[in-house]
């Protein structure tokens, strides 16, 4: 670990000031401290934002949910409104990490977490994300856990968050506060695909602070849930995952929200699957046909060809779990 | 002397050191508070093969607190005398730390930074710049040439195969596994003049002592190794690894006690591993499933500088009756560090191949897998003609089948379903060759009626402290509370490595011998002492219970150790005990046995395997400590589930880097993966084996688990998986 300074911000103002001077925000620290130990991250100044008043979960006027950036993963998952309105969020969180990590890690930190790509985390390996221009060791290396969607020749690393997949599916947005005031970015635009600049991962600017994630109101009744396929039954990242939310009225699917995890360089929204569902009546045949669209554009690597088929099956299974069988 | 009543042995006692452990008082290697200790962090090679062309230590040395940076360019030459005698070092030249510019594997120690704080040492280590002339390493068994094989043959296997009515040709692959004990390997080294003291995580203080004595050319008695607690080992502590030498070297150079704690990542190349295997098995049987010929070809990885060998061949020679057997065991030298034994060494791999193949044969011939095994049960050890000491495998099958409900298994694959889950039942037999080696122990019975027993030994978790205390308590006729067993110090009487399931048989027999001697001394003293109520009683009529010697059948006539010793003005009695090892030549063939049964669920759509329940039935001789033996079995089954479904050390063959060198990337089972596990030990003892009648528990319990799971997966799905671990992609 490289030496660094550590200060605690008592107010949002203080945090923004420190951020403007180049300070890195730290909340739960479950990603950042890990990466500092590996010397992947070498911040000179850490600004602890744990005391800021960003710990509220509330229902918005229109019936959506606003989750403060400092609400822990476990508090979010257990919140009665999250559980009743968007079970997919609770399920995604509860299938993430371990109980200890979920108690420490925050929602803001979760969507800022960096990839688990083994080469990114090993400073002696080539990685364009860590060291632009050095190359991508994963492209022709160990890439079983890597992405098949949204990749580039520069980077094939997955975004490891589960709850971000649920947020992407639900068309959530991210609230930011910076020196120039507040702004709000749709989740789909917040996390960036690697392209030629895999070192740029979010649209956040230096010194900006995530204040909340907001899930918009969706028509009710809404059934939702998260399925995570992984090698072991707890404390492991997804091979594939699917977040599904369906609004069915009069026997017809009126609204469908679907995204996949473990397969994309960012949480992967599946609009083609959504389109195939809307206006149709739930049936096993529909689930199969819609899930067939899930892997459109997939570019599998030497070690993860199985993910193409597994992704379709994961989406199909979760459509059935949420939407029911005839 | 009369036989002592059994009170402690066989009782389901909790660990005697349990309180120390749960209260944090038990001191592990890195926790010893050694005055003036400084910290060392090792810099690992970032290439897989080649030469070091330069080491720039300026930035590291500029870090406040950094005392020294040692590397091959400035390290003193070390004697590195040969260490072939009584060591665990495999044949070959040793890795000599900081003695030359060659890099033999990715992660090899190339420098060490010593600093007054751990943080400074870590930061300094990250600033050492090493330049290399790198070559592409050879780390893939598939592309490398093997050494001359070790061979075994009886009969004519090729002819037997040709003539067999049924022939199968099957190849099984098994991934490299790492032990991943919870406690990281750690060493504190301190020099006092020419005397070296080392607090180390090791399963063999004597082995580490021997290695350090040879590396630094010291008399054995100048090296003391202390290791009272080991936070898991599974074999990783069976030899002295390079970082122990680094600690001792750094301490000598800085003239300060030095502590080295390997990071989790460093365990993956700083200590050994279970080598990966390719195991080809060609078998021929008659139509009733009786084996006629089996050809085993085993390829395993080893390092370029040492030849690691393990007992992969034995199961194929002795387990099933087979007139014609041929074996070739090839070690493939690679640019990797040297492997080491890991739980169930050799047998856990051989059994995956052999027991999977038996299941395949049973399916092909439509014979129940247990029945097929019974048809091939040998009357004696066909590899050497010796009778079995005990071999109660039939009972293991019978008891296991009954308790598990084996009759409910539908032999037709893919015939049982529970929602999205296909259900399958599988079984496998297990065998292990437990070691017995010469060992010594000493006991001192004090005038206050308490006793202390000492033996070098180790307790990496199986419960040596407890089980040895049980043996000693019964032999001395004392209660558990009044006996203390001490271990983990090279100053104690010598013992063999704490591994290979040999500790109970070897150290336990020495403990028994020492304690019997002291009890005998006390009894002699009493019967010859005119003032003793036992004066004139025949020695063989006296027993000792709870510290009181008395006439067997007449508890009123007797006296306590305290009274006896006080009256005779003795402060203590003491004796050295020993176990000479097995008879040479052996008169019996001596193995532990088991049968493993499991039920799995397979979600064939998503490629998921879930173990739903598991039962192991074992023939391991006398059980000294039932509660701890049960823990051993559960732990072994968990290890087997990991081997079967999760554990896989992955190497990037382009540069020899291990790419999943942490517990996020190398998966071991978590609680959620572990279902209802049950172990049954057949009652009885094996008095041919050793004076205690034990055969060893710790290794056998991982053997057969992976094959039972793979066989159950086949029963569930009809898919035969011949590669470990069984992954989602293999099942899709």
- pLDDT tier at B85, thresholds 50, 70, 90: low
Give me the mean pLDDT over the B36-52 stretch: 98
- How many other β-carbons are positioned within 10 Å of the β-carbon of residue A233? 16
Complex ipTM value = 0.97
What integer pLDDT is reported at residue B1 of this predicted model? 64
The region that residue B566 occupies, defined by phi over 0 for left and psi between -120 and 50 for alpha, beta otherwise, is alpha
Contact between residue B507 and residue B534 where contact means Cβ atoms under 8 Å apart:
no
What integer pLDDT is reported at residue B87 of this predicted model? 54
Among B9, B11, B5, B6, residue whose Cα is nearest residue B553:
B5
Q: CA quadruple B5, B9, B15, B20: dihedral positive or negative?
A: positive
Does the global pTM surpass 0.90? yes
Buried b (16+ CB within 10 A) or exposed e, B36-68: ebbbbbbbbbbbbbbebeebebeebbebebbbb
Residue A182 has, within 13 A of its CA and on its CB side, a CA count of: 7
Q: Which domains does chain A have, with CATH numbers?
A: 5-46 (no CATH), 57-112+162-215 (3.30.465.10), 223-323 (3.30.390.50)
Domain range list for chain B: 18-25+437-579, 32-135+182-232+237-270, 277-435+586-731
Query: How far apart, in whole angstroms, are the C-alpha atoms of residue B307 and residue B291?
Result: 32
Give, in order, the Cα–Cα distances in Å from B83 to each of A294, A308, B91, B212, B239.
61, 54, 10, 10, 12
pLDDT tens-digit series, residues B390-433: 999 999 999 999 999 999 999 999 999 999 999 999 999 999 99
What integer pLDDT is reported at residue B89 of this predicted model? 76
The CATH code of the domain at B32-135+182-232+237-270 is 3.30.365.10
Query: Is B699 annotated as catalytic?
Result: yes
**Both tokens assigned to B678:** 């049950």
pLDDT tens-digit series, residues B197-208: 999 999 999 999
Query: How far apart, in whole angstroms, are the C-alpha atoms of residue B632 and residue B615?
Result: 13
Would you call A231 and B728 a contact, using CB atoms and an 8 Å cutoff?
yes
Which residue of A1, A125, A239 is in closest CB contact with B122?
A: A1
| A219 exposure class (CB count in 10 Å sphere: 0-12, 13-18, 19+) | exposed
**Both tokens assigned to B641:** 């589930």
Give, in order, the Cα–Cα distances in Å from A196 to each of A40, A152, A192, B688.
20, 7, 11, 71
Could you tell me which CATH class the domain B277-435+586-731 is placed in? alpha beta
Q: Reply yes or no on whether the pLDDT at B348 is more than 60.
A: yes
State how far Cα B328 lies from the chain centre.
25
Would you call A1 and B608 a contact, using CB atoms and an 8 Å cutoff?
no
B32-135+182-232+237-270 and B18-25+437-579 share a CATH fold: yes
Among A82, A81, A80, residue whose Cα is nearest residue A92:
A82
pLDDT tens-digit series, residues B535-554: 999 999 999 999 999 999 99
CA angle B247-B251-B257, nearest 5°? 100
Chain A residue at shortest CA distance from B125 = A1
- pLDDT tier at B384, thresholds 50, 70, 90: very high
Helix (H/G/I), strand (E/B), else coil: B308? coil
What integer pLDDT is reported at residue B635 of this predicted model? 97
Contact between residue B155 and residue B252 where contact means Cβ atoms under 8 Å apart:
no
pLDDT tens-digit series, residues B654-691: 999 999 999 999 999 999 999 999 999 999 999 999 99
**Both tokens assigned to B106:** 């990715």
Q: CA quadruple B141, B146, B151, B153: dihedral positive or negative?
A: positive
pLDDT over 70 percentage in chain B:
99
User: φ, ψ for residue B141 (rounded to 5)?
Assistant: -55, -35
Average pLDDT, chain B: 97
Instruction: Find the catalytic residue in B360, B382, B454, B699.
Output: B699
Which of the residues A233, A284, A304, A319 would you substitute to probe the B interface, choosing the one with the greatest number of B C-beta atoms within 10 Å? A233
Q: What's the gap in Å between the CA of B431 and the closest CA on chain A?
A: 28
What integer pLDDT is reported at residue B91 of this predicted model? 82
Fold for the domain defined by B18-25+437-579? Aldehyde Oxidoreductase; domain 4 (3.30.365)
Would you call A141 and B610 a contact, using CB atoms and an 8 Å cutoff?
no
Residues (pLDDT < 50) of chain A are: none
- pLDDT tier at B92, thresholds 50, 70, 90: confident
Which of the residues B175, B646, B675, B729 would you substitute to probe the A interface, choosing the one with the greatest number of A C-beta atoms within 10 Å? B729
Among B566, B96, B135, residue whose Cα is nearest residue B335:
B135
Helix (H/G/I), strand (E/B), else coil: B206? helix
């Amino acid at each position: 670990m490289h030496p660094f300074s550590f200060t605690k911000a008592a107010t949002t103002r203080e945090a923004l000031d420190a951020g403007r001077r180049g300070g890195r925000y730290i909340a739960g620290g479950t990603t950042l401290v890990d990466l500092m130990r590996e010397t992947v991250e070498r911040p000179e100044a850490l600004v602890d934002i744990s005391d800021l008043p960003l710990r509220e979960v509330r229902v918005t006027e229109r019936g959506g949910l606003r989750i403060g950036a400092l609400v822990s993963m476990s508090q979010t998952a257990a919140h009665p409104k999250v559980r009743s309105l968007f079970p997919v969020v609770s399920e995604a969180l509860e299938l993430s990490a371990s109980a200890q990590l979920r108690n420490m890690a925050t929602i803001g930190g979760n969507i800022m977490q960096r990839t688990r790509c083994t080469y990114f985390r090993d400073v002696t390996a080539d990685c364009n994300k860590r060291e632009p221009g050095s190359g991508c060791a994963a492209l022709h290396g160990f890439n079983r856990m890597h992405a098949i969607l949204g990749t580039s020749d520069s980077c094939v690393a997955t975004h490891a968050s589960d709850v971000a997949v649920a947020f992407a599916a639900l068309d959530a947005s991210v609230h930011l506060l910076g020196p120039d005031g507040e702004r709000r970015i749709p989740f789909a635009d917040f996390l960036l695909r690697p392209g030629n600049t895999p070192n740029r991962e979010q649209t956040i600017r230096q010194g900006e602070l995530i204040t909340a994630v907001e899930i918009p109101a969706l028509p009710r009744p809404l059934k939702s849930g998260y399925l995570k396929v992984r090698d072991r039954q707890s404390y492991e990242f997804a091979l594939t995952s699917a977040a599904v939310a369906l609004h069915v009225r009069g026997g017809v699917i009126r609204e469908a929200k679907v995204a996949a995890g473990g397969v994309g360089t960012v949480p992967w929204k599946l609009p083609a699957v959504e389109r195939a569902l809307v206006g149709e009546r739930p049936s096993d045949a529909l689930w199969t046909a819609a899930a067939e669209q899930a892997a459109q554009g997939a570019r599998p690597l030497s070690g993860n060809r199985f993910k193409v088929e597994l992704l379709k099956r994961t989406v199909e299974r979760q459509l059935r779990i949420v939407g029911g069988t005839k | 002397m009369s036989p002592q009543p059994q009170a402690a042995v066989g009782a389901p006692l909790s660990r005697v050191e349990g309180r120390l452990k749960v209260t944090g008082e038990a001191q592990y290697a890195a926790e010893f508070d050694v005055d003036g200790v400084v910290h060392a962090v090792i810099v690992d090679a970032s290439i897989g093969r080649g030469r070091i062309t330069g080491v720039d230590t300026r930035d590291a040395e500029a870090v406040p607190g950094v005392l020294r940076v040692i590397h091959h360019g400035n390290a003193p030459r070390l004697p590195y005398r040969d260490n072939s005698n009584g060591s665990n070092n495999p044949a070959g030249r040793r890795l000599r730390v900081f003695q030359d510019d060659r890099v033999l594997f990715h992660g090899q120690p190339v420098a060490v930074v010593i600093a007054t704080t751990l943080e400074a040492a870590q930061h300094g280590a990250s600033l050492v710049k090493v330049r290399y002339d790198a070559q592409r390493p050879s780390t893939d068994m598939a592309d490398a040439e093997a050494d001359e094989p070790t061979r075994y043959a009886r009969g004519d296997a090729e002819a037997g195969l040709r003539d067999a009515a049924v022939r199968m040709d099957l190849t099984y692959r098994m991934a490299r596994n790492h032990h991943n004990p919870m406690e990281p390997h750690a060493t504190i080294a301190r020099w006092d003049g020419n005397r070296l003291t080392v607090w180390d995580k090791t399963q063999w203080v004597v082995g580490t002592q021997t290695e350090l004595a040879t590396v630094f050319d010291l008399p054995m008695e100048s090296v003391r190794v202390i290791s009272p607690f080991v936070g898991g080992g599974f074999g990783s502590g069976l030899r002295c690894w390079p970082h122990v030498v680094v600690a001792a070297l750094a301490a000598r150079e800085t003239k300060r006690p030095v502590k080295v704690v390997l990071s989790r990542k460093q365990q993956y190349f700083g200590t050994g591993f279970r080598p990966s295997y390719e195991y080809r098995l060609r078998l021929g049987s008659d139509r009733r499933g009786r084996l006629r010929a089996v050809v085993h070809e085993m390829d395993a990885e080893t390092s370029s500088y040492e030849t690691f060998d393990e007992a992969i061949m034995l199961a194929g020679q002795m387990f099933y009756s087979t007139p014609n057997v041929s074996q070739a065991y090839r070690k493939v030298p690679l640019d990797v560090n040297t492997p080491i034994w890991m739980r169930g060494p050799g047998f856990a791999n051989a059994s995956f191949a052999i027991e999977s193949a038996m299941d395949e044969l049973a399916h092909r011939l439509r014979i129940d897998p247990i029945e097929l095994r019974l048809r091939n049960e040998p009357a004696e050890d066909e590899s050497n003609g010796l009778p079995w000491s005990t071999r109660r495998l039939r009972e293991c099958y019978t008891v296991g089948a009954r308790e598990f409900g084996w009759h409910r298994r539908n032999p037709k694959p893919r015939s049982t379903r529970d929602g999205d889950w296909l259900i399958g039942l599988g079984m496998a037999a297990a065998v292990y060759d437990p070691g017995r080696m010469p060992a010594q122990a000493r006991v001192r019975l004090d005038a206050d009626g308490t006793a202390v027993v000492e033996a070098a030994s180790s307790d990496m978790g199986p419960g040596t402290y407890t089980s040895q205390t049980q043996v000693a308590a019964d032999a001395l006729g004392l209660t558990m509370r009044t006996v203390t067993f001490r271990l983990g110090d090279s100053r104690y009487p010598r013992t063999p490595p704490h591994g290979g399931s040999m500790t109970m048989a070897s150290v336990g027999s020495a403990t028994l011998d020492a304690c019997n001697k002291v009890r005998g001394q006390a009894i002699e003293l009493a019967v010859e002492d005119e003032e003793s109520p036992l004066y004139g009683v025949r020695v063989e009529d006296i027993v000792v219970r709870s510290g009181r010697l008395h006439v067997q059948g007449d508890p009123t006539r007797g006296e306590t150790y305290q009274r006896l010793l006080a009256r005779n003005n003795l402060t203590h009695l003491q004796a050295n005990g020993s176990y000479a090892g097995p008879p040479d030549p052996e008169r019996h063939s001596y193995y532990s046995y088991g049968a493993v049964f499991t039920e799995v669920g397979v979600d064939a759509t998503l490629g998921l395997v879930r173990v739903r329940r598991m039962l192991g039935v074992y023939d391991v001789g006398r059980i000294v400590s039932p509660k701890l033996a049960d823990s051993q079995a559960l732990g072994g089954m968990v290890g087997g589930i990991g081997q079967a479904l999760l554990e896989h050390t992955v190497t990037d063959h382009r540069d020899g880097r291990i790419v999943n060198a942490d517990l996020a990337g190398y998966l071991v089972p978590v609680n959620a993966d572990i279902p209802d596990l049950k172990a049954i030990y057949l009652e009885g003892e094996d008095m041919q084996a050793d004076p205690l009648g034990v055969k060893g528990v710790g290794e056998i319990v991982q053997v057969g688990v992976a094959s039972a799971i793979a066989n159950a997966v086949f029963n569930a799905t009809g898919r035969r998986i011949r590669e470990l671990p069984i992954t989602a992609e293999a099942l899709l």
